[in-house]
Amino acid sequence: MDGADIVLAIVVATALAFDFTNGFHDTANVVATTISTRALPPRVAVTLAALLNFVGAFLSLAVATTIANDIVDQALVTTTIIFAGLVGAIVWNLVTWYFGLPSSSSHALIGGVVGAMLVANGTSAIDFDGLAGKVLVPALIAPVLAFAVAGIGILVCYRIVGRLAPGPVSRGYRLGQVLSGGMLALAHGTNDAQKTMGIITLALIANGNLAADAAVPTWVIVSAATAIALGTYLGGWRIIKTMGSRIIKMDPAQGFAAQSSGSAVILAATHFGYPLSTTHTISGAVMGAGAAKRLSAVRWGVAGNIVVAWVLTLPCAAIVGGLVYGVTHLFGDGAAGPVIVAAAGVAFTAYVFVRRLQQGAAITTTAEGTST
Amino acid sequence: MPALATKVVDFGQLAEVIYVSLIAGVGISLAFSIVIRGAVRAGEHRRTRPVVAGAHALMAVIGLIVVLAAVVFGVSTMLSK
């Protein structure tokens, strides 16, 4: 095994680590409303989401290189740049997870790769029009559109079932949430596991292990699906609490309206080839479902923190990605840089997890807002 | 500035995403609410007014078909991506 193969192995491991953080970070958004309205017990909801994420990863096998397409000059992409971008994304995911804030893992990955690319090749390697059109504009559109759709949706729900006995109505919407939450989890698995598959495939092509037009290897599909499903199953409780009860206290109708609206927006955008963030969409839908009932029902301070995290995601991940590339490059073009940075990254991740565990274990939420 | 905006953003595609999202998102909330209303009302009238109960049950079934069709469309959209 030569230096290039060692770097490739580190990139693959880092990509799977990113996929894992993507699972426990983003999928929390998907199941939070299901848990907070008691549509499903927490462990059942998370297990179901993990299974659907796993299945979703196999649904579409088109090579997902869109992270690099239209944003950076692919001819200049190296395994070291991919590695630095992944580390930038993982660090930002851990920071936002630590504070319980939902932020886009896709934006973190794009930010990390753009930052590393800027340090490696300068501004000429970045397609700023692509960055604006594919990332920044959708980041503005997704939450606003989901907010509006969920807001109108919940008003329609209340209009139709408003005079019925609350018991059967709540049971009905809880049942609906199993379906709408399942659709969200499936869409998430399809979208996000694909990004990791694309990144690993890109690294294999860059290293000469695969031809440029090669299909995604089966081991890549299985490992990416497993990593995102495992991450989903094991974590995300802090963000589940933020999404499920800190923004608004949801009733089952609001949970259903938020999830079904979020699914509709994501799938409509997918159908027309317009890239939207799952995180931004479902966060906007949750706020919309709350605000339509009563503006003061939304904790705008928490919503503001989430928006700040969204705004900071790209630049912060880019800064970390750029720094990691710079540090890696100090050790030359061989395997030494990635090995040292990866070892430091593992130590940092372990430190964050241990600190988090020392501060508090799993968080549970209830529809009535009592949380422990 | 408008030329730059047009170059960066495909406004036609964006408009399509907005109106399809609105129709689909609000439509699924409407259809599922009709399912719940139909089922609850059918249960309430089952013994006293069987014809009214039947009409509500029919309404619930139609709503359910719309919801299931939306789910099938959603999964097929994911598959065709």
Q: What is the pLDDT along chain A (372 residues), one digit of tens a residue?
A: 677 788 888 889 988 988 888 887 776 777 778 887 888 887 788 888 888 878 877 765 443 445 555 677 777 888 888 889 989 988 888 888 777 777 788 888 889 989 999 999 888 888 888 788 778 888 888 889 999 999 999 999 999 998 888 889 999 999 999 888 888 888 777 777 777 887 888 788 878 888 877 778 889 889 988 888 888 887 666 666 666 556 667 888 988 999 999 988 888 887 776 767 888 888 888 888 888 877 777 777 777 777 888 888 889 999 999 999 999 888 877 778 888 888 888 888 788 777 766 665 443 333 333 332
Give domain status of residue B77, yes or no. Answer: yes
Give domain status of residue B80, yes or no. Answer: yes
Chain A nearest-CA distance from B30, in A, is 6
Of the candidates A164, A165, A267, the beta carbon closest to that of B74 is on A267
Tell whether B79 lies on the interface with A, counting CB pairs under 8 A: yes
Which ipTM score applies to this complex?
0.88
Give domain status of residue B14, yes or no. Answer: no
Of the candidates B24, B25, B37, the beta carbon closest to that of A160 is on B37
Chain A nearest-CA distance from B66, in A, is 13
Give domain status of residue B9, yes or no. Answer: no
Question: What distance in Å separates the CA atoms of residue A100 and residue A37, rounded to the nearest whole number?
Answer: 19
Which residues of chain A does B8 touch, with a Cβ-Cβ cutoff of 8 Å? 129, 132-133, 137
User: What is the span of the domain harbouring residue B54?
Assistant: 33-81
Of the candidates A133, A149, A187, the beta carbon closest to that of B22 is on A149
Provide the token pair at A264: 């509709």
In single-letter form, the type of residue at position A199 comes to I
Tell whether B22 lies on the interface with A, counting CB pairs under 8 A: yes
Which residues of chain B does A254 touch, with a Cβ-Cβ cutoff of 8 Å? none
Give domain status of residue B46, yes or no. Answer: yes
Which residue from A minimizes the CA distance to B19?
A: A268
Give domain status of residue B43, yes or no. Answer: yes
Q: How many domains does chain B have?
A: 1
**Cβ-contact A114, A72 below 8 angstroms:** yes
The per-residue pLDDT for range B25-66, each reduced to its tens digit, is 999 999 999 999 999 999 888 888 889 999 999 999 999 999
Chain B nearest-CA distance from A98, in A, is 32
Of the candidates A145, A161, A271, the beta carbon closest to that of B36 is on A161
CB–CB contact A267 B25 (8 Å)? no
CB–CB contact A190 B16 (8 Å)? no
pLDDT at B31: 95
Give domain status of residue B28, yes or no. Answer: no
Tell whether B28 lies on the interface with A, counting CB pairs under 8 A: yes
What are the backbone dihedrals phi and psi of residue A72, each rounded to the nearest 5 degrees, phi first? -130, 160
CB–CB contact B28 A260 (8 Å)? yes
Beta-bridge mates of residue A126: A72
Best of A271, A277, A281 to disrupt the B interface (most B CBs within 10 Å) is: A271
CB–CB contact A261 B29 (8 Å)? yes
pTM listed for this prediction: 0.79
Which residue from B minimizes the CA distance to A170?
A: B36
Give domain status of residue B58, yes or no. Answer: yes
Tell whether B41 lies on the interface with A, counting CB pairs under 8 A: yes
Chain A nearest-CA distance from B1, in A, is 13
Angle at A146 between CA A141 and CA A151, to 5 degrees: 135
Of the candidates A137, A160, A268, the beta carbon closest to that of B34 is on A160
